[in-house]
Structure 1
Amino acid sequence: MFYRHYDSPIGRLLLSGDAGGLQQVLMDIDGKPWKIGENWRAAAHELDEVCKQLDEYFAGRRLRFDLPLAPQGTVFQQAVWQALRCIPFGQTSSYSALAAEIARPTAVRAVGAANGANPIAVIIPCHRVIGCDGSLTGYAGGLPRKALLLKLEGAQLPEQRLLSI
């Protein structure tokens, strides 16, 4: 597994992956140290394309990521994460809509938990999930980061929802 740090407008990120694809894009949350695996090695150039695409995204020049992804999770989590990838740039969805999308309409809370367990922040766009009423609800990286990402993408939300964070 290779890893490297990436400085972004939403703070420092930890990127990790292997030949199978990108496995993690983690945010610095409350200054908690990231767990670097015993067998992990600092990336030389292995994660350069991830950084390039993140640079383009944060500069407003990339609307969709084109990277091999290999997030580790349950079959249910994988289904939720795949559904997240289908939410277009600049648009949002709700937990209930995602539950319906994966044919599990009563699993709204489980969808929320899977969304919160997303190991590849930004690239698997869990920040695009909002409450049915348009509210910015739950985001592991904090609501200010979620608001910043949605503003960057030009998401159409009531302005006071973004400014009140």
Structure 2
Amino acid sequence: MLQKRLETPLGPVTVMSDGLSLNGLWFTNQKYYGSTLPRLTVMGDRPVFAQVQTWLTDYFAGKQPAINFPIKPEGTPFRQAVWQELQQIPYGEVRTYGELAASVGDRLGHFVGAQAIGGAVGHNPISLVIPCHRVVAGDGDLTGYAGGLERKQNLLRLEGSLKTDALRVDFKGK
């Protein structure tokens, strides 16, 4: 696994790649930092890192960049299903843990609890690109972001779904 440190307006991130795909993107002090990747990594460079840097630059400039590089998060089939569902949340919108649980449950064909969803969302290994920051509590509270609530506020404000410095979005559902 190769890793590289990139800078963002919200602090440095570490990106990891198997040489072809993006396998991880974490804020340096993020909860569960690097938890899904092997212990042995080396500093290096690959074209995917330049593509991710361009994506981050565009994203933080307020654009809605397309993900034009392969991503390959490592996780259980359940977590993979949750992360796939996260990728369906459009820029500038939020979903509740309950809504996400219903969507994942439909995808898997059985009931899924919001608490299980929260665990999978929190262990998302590719922050920002897989937009776990777009998930909020049922009442709109900004809970459960491994990168920290202040970063979550800033990300949702950047995307236009948070209008104030509050810790709650004006949530009206889908």
Q: Is 154-163 or 144-153 further displaced after alignment?
A: 154-163
Q: Which runs of 5+ in 1 are unaligned?
A: none
Q: Distance in 2 between matches of 1:101 and 1:38?
A: 36
1:3 corresponds in structure 2 to 3
Q: CA RMSD in A?
A: 2.6
Following superposition of structure 1 onto structure 2, how do residues 60-139 of structure 1 map, counting pairs within 5 Å? 60-103=62-105, 104-139=110-145
The answer as to whether partners of 2:7 and 2:13 remain within 8 angstroms in 1 is yes
The sequence identity of aligned pairs, in percent, is: 36
Q: Structure 2 vs 1, CA of residues 12 and 118 (structure 1 numbering), >3 Å: closer, same or farther?
A: same
2:23 corresponds in structure 1 to 23
For 1:56-111, what per-residue CA distance to the aligned partner results, in whole angstroms no more than 9, with x for missing partners? 11111234423211000000000000000000000000111011001154421110
Equivalences, count: 163
Aligned partner letter, 1:118: N
For 1:113-158, what per-residue CA distance to the aligned partner results, in whole angstroms no more than 9, with x for missing partners? 0000000000000000001101101111110000000001111567
**Shift in Å at residue 55 of structure 1?**
0.7
Q: TM-score, normalised by structure 1?
A: 0.87
Q: Which runs of 5+ in 2 are unaligned?
A: 170-174
Q: Distance in 2 between matches of 1:79 and 1:101?
A: 10
Q: Is 46-55 or 123-132 further displaced after alignment?
A: 46-55
